[in-house]
Structure 1
């Protein structure tokens, strides 16, 4: 199976989530990704979280999707030469070690660009490759704290909270993939050759959250966490529970949709109240609006709320559990949950949906070193040399081939 990125060759030295997700997102659209792991230390994401019936970690199955796996000690002299051969024919190298790890291994950006001046290098780290916090260790939760996300999540009188998924690492993976494509576009247009993309894990969230900084610096307004309501509370909405125990999120993003929402929950008297003539005026009385929505929703069943909201073209969305996500008819129709033949584990399919060049799931995460032998053969190594490298502990493989 091919895709629009089928000629794009990526070397992945990443681990856990952020770097590997960048490569995985591009692999969905055909990029040829070679993931390199140490023979004695595989990516820890293989062991994080629950295991499928075959004993393989389900997180690895999706983050390792569509990738070849090469088991190589790239810090050794011979391993570095193999890495050099790979880099010379690659378009992109992805890494998310602490700053300085590549340099201490003898393969910093200057060396990599000596080998391949057109190589795009994505470097993901906790706080970036420079600055006073350069060497401070960090994980995704630290980034969520630094970006302000945790500060804005939770109840007003409660502690800051992390979201229910690795938001910092995941958004960094997405931003990393974007950075790669921007750099490759610049290379194609001749405006730049190989670039180094320096991406701190907190920066993707900082950019995607966006509005708190201009709110403070432009309007002297400091958003605060606000429980079931929005931190800025600029439009009506929030999380509410129906009389039959179903959670709904209600929202309205404009004066027109807000009027429809108010008419649905409180009739003409509420919708025509002069306090709610505009969103700006409404924001001054948002507690009244929230209480009115809450009173209506809590006194009606899900079916009743949906019927009333439908008549008024107002928006209320049911909060789906993971079980409900896997059976939702719209998600099924979109083909957003997929797998491969013979594999019971399902994953989220390629996004976005492309009209002419759609993405594809080719395989889920493979065993460590599953492609070591075939990759080295493509580089010109014969079986005797491969065996010698294996005996020296510089490579390992699990390709099912008889090596006796």
Structure 2
């Protein structure tokens, strides 16, 4: 599967990166004098390259190309004619103004699937409003439900909206591929608004409001609507744990672990519905239990009752965690200090493969153009005319 990536930053490029883990041939296109900002954003590795780019650019070939006019547009057409997918996440209208909107792209290749990522979608009253991931987190309700009741709304500690959009984009692509292979549709457009991807996962507040007249509110270390026991607690030796129960049976085991038979058999907690009316009592009992014991003591007691308490891992602990290492979820490339998260999910017959970290700009320009039938003289002429960049590609 060949993917042409015109995307930048996180949302669109992550969709292509996820598919590249499982063998997709991704060609990332950047303008000769304007590369993806992820190359520079955030901390740098020992070679001066942004570590975020190293993982978002993983497994991708890089082509430095001015695709908006002239001979650069001709090269884009040749690429599209042989591609399965095109990914873009510009503001709505950018492709159309450059003369390469969906109508033109489908004229070049009727089977092309186009993933279009934008802040608020390709239509509607907010179509042209600029947006970043945090705006989407606000619009989806995520920020409103995160934090303490008497404090401000909060964003999570990672780009939740952009990352979720990357996942949803890959899902949308594969649904469209399935429809194409079944003869249901040829090339189609996947119109993905960043706020919608979190809204879909944050959906329970809507039926809670419309169906049960309940309005979830942020609740600090507890869930916005604690329908089952749970929360975040700190042990006597300073370790944070998250405690949770998923149903009536697991809730009873949790209560027995923290309060013995007296708490578990209390008639106020006979069902989850009744328990939800007294969740402050349950939370306080769990907090008292955890706060008065060390991590080892809490884990031992919870294990004895088959209840769930999970340690909150720091990044350093993630990097050395035995289960994560056993699963092969942190991978490296020979000669690179930077490690990244490996392919997920784990497939039994066609597992993903990690091949290389993000390449320099234009690292594959020459080889890609040769594959399109351009000889070295024409490539040099294109470079001199400003349509193509060859930086980093001479080794090819």
TM-score higher than 0.5: yes
**Is structure 2 residue 79 aligned with structure 1 residue 64?**
no
Structure 2 CA distance, aligned partners of 1:71 and 1:243? 56
Deviations 1:192-244 (A, max 9, x none): 00000000000110011121111111111111000000011111000000000
Superposition map of 1:313-392 within 5 A: 313-392=306-385
Q: What SS is found at the alignment partner of 1:150? A: coil
Match among 85, 104, 128 for residue 78 of structure 2: 85
Q: What SS is found at the alignment partner of 2:8? A: coil
Instruction: State the partner residue of 2:252.
Output: 259
Structure 2 CA distance, aligned partners of 1:355 and 1:227? 40
Instruction: State the partner residue of 1:131.
Output: 124
Q: What SS is found at the alignment partner of 1:151? A: coil
Q: What SS is found at the alignment partner of 2:380? A: helix
Is 2:235–2:292's contact at 8 Å kept on the other side of the alignment? Answer: yes
TM-score (norm 1): 0.97
Instruction: State the partner residue of 1:168.
Output: 161
Superposition map of 1:147-162 within 5 A: 147-162=140-155
Superposition map of 1:295-310 within 5 A: 295-310=288-303
Deviations 1:72-129 (A, max 9, x none): 0001211111000000000000000000000011100000000000000000000000
Closer, same or farther: CA 152–402 of 1 in aligned 2, 3 Å: closer
Structure 2 CA distance, aligned partners of 1:368 and 1:259? 57
Q: Which runs of 5+ in 1 are unaligned?
A: 1-7
Instruction: State the partner residue of 2:133.
Output: 140
Superposition map of 1:75-114 within 5 A: 75-114=68-107
Structure 1 CA distance, aligned partners of 2:59 and 2:179? 26
Instruction: State the partner residue of 1:207.
Output: 200
Closer, same or farther: CA 147–305 of 1 in aligned 2, 3 Å: same
Structure 1 CA distance, aligned partners of 2:323 and 2:202? 28
Q: What SS is found at the alignment partner of 2:144? A: helix
* Superposed displacement of residue 401, structure 1: 2.1
* Superposed displacement of residue 18, structure 1: 0.2
**Is structure 2 residue 30 aligned with structure 1 residue 30?**
no
Instruction: State the partner residue of 1:228.
Output: 221
* Superposed displacement of residue 402, structure 1: 7.2
Instruction: State the partner residue of 2:45.
Output: 52
Instruction: State the partner residue of 1:4.
Output: none
Structure 1 stretches of 4+ with a deviation exceeding 3 A read none
Is 1:373–1:399's contact at 8 Å kept on the other side of the alignment? Answer: no
TM-score (norm 2): 0.99
**Is structure 2 residue 253 aligned with structure 1 residue 281?**
no
* Superposed displacement of residue 398, structure 1: 2.5
Closer, same or farther: CA 392–228 of 1 in aligned 2, 3 Å: same
Is 1:37–1:71's contact at 8 Å kept on the other side of the alignment? Answer: yes
**Is structure 2 residue 180 aligned with structure 1 residue 187?**
yes
Instruction: State the partner residue of 1:5.
Output: none
What is the alpha-carbon root mean square deviation over aligned residues? 0.9
* Superposed displacement of residue 400, structure 1: 4.9
Q: Which runs of 5+ in 2 are unaligned?
A: none
* Superposed displacement of residue 340, structure 1: 1.2
Q: What is the number of residues matched between the two proteins?
A: 396
Deviations 1:321-363 (A, max 9, x none): 0000000000011000001111111000000000000001000
**Is structure 2 residue 2 aligned with structure 1 residue 9?**
yes
